[in-house]
Structure 1
Amino acid sequence: MGTKTAAILFTACLLLSACTATKPESAATSNQQDSAASDSSNSAKDQSNVSSPKSSSKQAGSDDHNSAGKTNAQNDKTSESNETGAATSATSATTNNKMYHLDKAYNVIPNQQGTEKKVVLLTFDDGPKEAAMINKIIDVLDKHKAKAIFFVNGYRVKEHPELLKLIHDRGQPIGNHSWDHIVLKNKSEPEVKKQIETVQKAVKDITGQAPVFFRPPHGAGGDVGRKVAKENGLLYMTWSVGSLDWTMKKNQPNKTEALLKNVTEQLHPGSNILMHELPWTAEALDSILTRLEQKGYQFVDPQGIEVPAS
């Protein structure tokens, strides 16, 4: 009996040992499965936190709109690409360091919060005319550390290419004001293309740089003018404040006071001020810019304004 009992006890011990040895292995397997399930669940959660291409691109489009300050027309153009997941416009705007854009009324608008709002854009149309007058205008601009767009006509550039080079060499931006200063809005597309593109070529041939700003003569470019300008990488604009210097006569008294009144009565943050290469405007310019500074305005550098991709 003692031997049998010992054998039975020995066998029972062996069975008990085998059972307890298998339990940890089973638990480890279960833990691994739980861990895998947990990893899978976390991975799914991580994936759910990443927006789909469509929703991500919509957010990018929204950010692009907020940071780059696109106009509605530009947003219409980019909305389709934004919905497919392309988010390059904001990056491009940041890279190019464009601080402003023009709204539908051609006012200068900051792209981001914190950018100076109380600015004006200075522009001069219908040149280049005379070296002495150009130098006088630019001397005043330099005095006030200001830049202005000089919108030139092609026929004047052809007559005096040295005057165009003078403007360029003195560091002022040059804009396209068509070849003949005609009303473009009722012209055919081939004629409008000729009016705009011949100026683009002439300016580039003389200065090495094609204009990026376009102002239609008389402020009337029409849909075709806008289309051709855009195709040539030109920012189309008219103005939001007119100096009315073009209505004045040589023998009219007190032209400086009249110009000051015309500008300041319409003045507002972002004003796009239209002036011309005229003797009385050159004479009054220092007073005008001084008055603007006294009112707390700064002069926006046109190079900081968004333009279409060429």
Structure 2
Amino acid sequence: MSSKTFRFSPVDPETSNKAVLLTFDDGPKEKEELTSMLDTLDKHGAKAIFFVNGYRVKQNPELLKLIDERGQTIGNHSWDHIDLHKKSKAEVQKQLGDVSDLVEELTGKRPQFFRPPFGTGGDVGKEVAKEDGMLYMTWSNGSLDWDLKATKKDPQLVIKNVLEQLHPGANILMHELPWTKEALDSLLTKLEEKGYGFIDPASIDLEQG
């Protein structure tokens, strides 16, 4: 698996190589939180991938539609957020296929990106994702917003963690969490101040994996 699926280069050769991919996992969860994040992305002219879980989409179909209507990209994060790398191919196909089917039913678009829960999809996960036309990716910059020991629910620590790991082409992993919502505007501002732009998922070469 090429590291290109975890780090990215802008498609336009005239663009500075200082660009990052923004991603948010484990949603969609809560309308106020999500709307705030979408508003912040719009404020900065930024696009992101929202990697969703099927069981959450089933609970919150209107929030999935909101992500799509606001011009953001929806990715597949499996149905149940389970460790896939020891599962059979049939189980993995169901975990991914049921999500893609539901997203397509609700938005008319099938996900083009897959991120395995815990970053562990194994060879079967990579194979199934490719068969379903999705680019498999993990991440190269973990905000640690999910690790309460690391962030203590502190937005400033989320920002600090991202900036400490920052590199051109970074694939930044975040989640739909209250402290990440609070951190997002300041984080994107700091990235812009450092000369970074935001990669539009629509520009990513799906064949690079």
Q: TM-score range by the shorter chain?
A: over 0.9
Higher-Rg member (1/2): 1
| TM-score normalised according to structure 1 size | 0.64
1:109 pairs with 2:9: yes
* Structure 1 segment 11-22 matched on structure 2, within 5 A: none
What residue identity is the alignment partner of 1:194? K
Q: 1:257 aligns with which of 156, 162, 173?
A: 156
Question: What TM-score, normalized by structure 2, do the two folds share?
Answer: 0.94
Q: Which residue of 2 aligns with 1:125?
A: 25
CA contact (8 A) 2:115 2:138 kept: yes
Matched residue SS, 1:186: coil
Of residues 135, 148, 168, the one that matches 2:68 is 168
After the TM superposition, which segments of 4 or more aligned residues of structure 1 sit over 3 Å from their partners? 110-113
Return 5+ residue gaps in structure 1 as ranges: 1-71, 74-101
Residue 78 of structure 2 is aligned to residue 148 of structure 1: no
Q: Is the 8 A contact 1:233 1:308 kept in 2?
A: no
**Do structure 1's residue 191 and structure 2's residue 91 form an aligned pair?**
yes
Separation (CA, whole Å) in 2 of partners of 1:130 and 1:236: 26
Q: Which has the higher helix share?
A: 1
The CA RMSD over aligned residues, in Å, is 1.8
Partner amino acid for 1:175? G
Alignment partner, residue 234 of structure 1: 134
Measure how far apart 1:124 and its partner are.
0.2
What SS does the corresponding residue of 2:75 show, helix, strand or coil?
strand
SS in 2 for 1:108: coil
1:271 aligns with 2:170: yes
Task: Indicate yes or no: 2:74 matched with 1:138.
Answer: no
Q: What SS is found at the alignment partner of 1:168?
A: helix
Give 1:252 deviation, angstroms: 3.4
Partner residue in 2 for 1:294:
193
CA distance in structure 2 between the partners assigned to 1:115 and 1:233 by the alignment: 27
Structure 1 residues 112, 285: CA separation in 2 closer, same or farther (over 3 Å shift)?
A: closer
Distance in 2 between the 1:163 and 1:113 partners? 35
Query: Percent same amino acid at aligned positions?
Result: 61
In structure 2, runs of 5+ residues without a counterpart are none
SS at match of 1:126: strand
Residue 284 of structure 1 and its aligned partner are, at CA, apart by 0.6
Aligned equivalents of 1:286 and 1:248: distance in 2? Answer: 21
Does residue 208 of structure 1 match 2:116? no
Report if the CA contact (8 A) 1:152-1:176 is conserved: yes
SS at match of 1:244: coil
Amino acid aligned to 1:296: G
Q: Distance in 2 between matches of 1:174 and 1:113?
A: 26
Amino acid at match of 1:238: T
Is the 8 Å Cα contact of residues 10 and 19 (structure 2) preserved in structure 1? no
Distance 1:306 1:183 in 2: 27
Match among 158, 178, 182 for residue 283 of structure 1 = 182
Q: Aligned partners of 1:179, 1:151: CA distance in 2, in Å?
A: 11
1:112 Cα offset (Å): 6.2
* Counterpart residue identity of residue 205, structure 1: E
Match of 1:41 in 2: none
C-alpha separation in 2, matches of 1:282 and 1:122: 13
Tell me if structure 2 keeps the 8 A contact 1:124–1:276.
Answer: yes
Q: Give the structure 1 partner of residue 58 of structure 2.
A: 158
CA positional deviation for 1:290: 0.6
Tell me if the contact between 2:11 and 2:203 (Cα under 8 Å) persists in the aligned partners: no
Equivalent residue, structure 2, for 1:177: 77
TM-superposed CA distance for 1:116, in Å, is: 2.7
How many residue pairs are counted as aligned between the two chains? 207
